[in-house]
Chains A and B, each alone.
Chain A
Amino acid sequence: MTTYLIRRVLGIIPVLLGVTFLVFAINRIVPSNPAVAILGDKGTVESQRQLAEELGLNKPVFFDVEGYRSSGRFGQLFDSQYFKYMGELLTGNLGKSFMTRAPVTDSLKVRFPATMELALFSILIGSTLGIVLGVVAALRRGTWVDTGMLFIAVSGVSFPVFWTAIVLIYLFSVQLGWFPPAGRLNVTSTLQPVTGLFVLDTLLRGQYKLFLDSLHHLVLPAFALGTHAMALIMRMTRSSMLDVLRRDYVRTAASKGVPPLVVVMKHAFRNALVPVVTVMGLSFGSLLSGAILVEAIFNWPGVGSWIFNAITQRDYPVIQGGVLFVAAVFIVLNMLVDLSYVLIDPRIRY
């Protein structure tokens, strides 16, 4: 177990190295230049060249082969954008955005908790609905109720998330006025962040009205994002419930005259939750990608829309820092899910 753990953790390093390499490569497939994007329509050839130099983009991407050939110094080979970036990375510096000139780490501190908060609440909404649907379907298996529940769950994963988002805004914000259409807090409210998770911060600061306000802002985006997780969790709940319901101890309890609802709640449901928890972990990846669209539509200041905008603006430091960070989180999360399998099911060995 310990060796497995060490191997998994060490295994992260080459993958992250590969991610930095791939991000650099993808960014620079096309000769398009951020200096052109920054200077815009009015930029001249000369001003673009000047600015590219100021931003350090005139250096070779990976290896300075020409410089090595002409100087003969081996070190010259590594005088490139990539190795400069990696050097800075080792000191924890992710650079500054080309567009805002703000340090990438500063933006991450604000944006990552925002996406986390959205993802957590999506999981919460998705799993609550998914578990309810799954339990009901399992108890009524083979009937039309079962098919109906499955239909609802599969529907959740079949709607395009950007479409659901805009329909929700028009229905619940514009027409009914029940929920705010955007943002994390009322525009006039202020909150001194602690963790960056506003739901938590409002409680820590004792601002209970703002706590309700932040929850209120979460409902629509979290629901739009959560429907996909719902389908997965509903299926898992249903099948593990069916599995548990067949077990002897549940049957025994039922035959002893324990009311059916109590049997379900006390025995079956609790046992069925175990695989569901791992599925929740796995849903995070699809949540992050759905977040790109949902964040843009709900004006949610998270990492998804941030990286997307950076990609279209060729804001290299933000793309590199943002993708690297998200990838790292994602890898660690996947590892934890794998480890939880080992812990939960002793039959699995590595």
Chain B
Amino acid sequence: MSMTSSSGSTAGRVEAGEAARSDKQQQTTPPPPPPLPLPQARTGGFLGRHRLSAAITRLDQEILSLQEEINELETMDPSSAACQEVLLSMEGKPEPLLPVTRGPEDVSWDRWFQRVRSSRGHKWWTHKGSDFS
């Protein structure tokens, strides 16, 4: 908001600019602008109603969703059923990062420790148990 009452017009804006410049030249600080009027509380207006309605719609949808989930729980298996599935899903699966694993063993698991030829023609041999970087 401009300090001058005529800030709506071009002339007013120019005048304000000129005044500011001459103030600077005189090395004096202009008086502080009058405090702005506090914004009107808008909860009573359209915006407040709109926001509240939107929030209520959200909450109503969440209520439906929660009720749905509560109803689902009536027929849901306990956690032990899912725990059993976790165990079964691992049974008999080969695992390259474990000391003891089910077969078949894949020879490519150990490629990280084998002779590598780089594109630059360098060769090196890596041994298990050490850092070859």
Specify whether A and B are partners.
Answer: no
List chain B positions with a Cβ less than 8 A from chain A. none
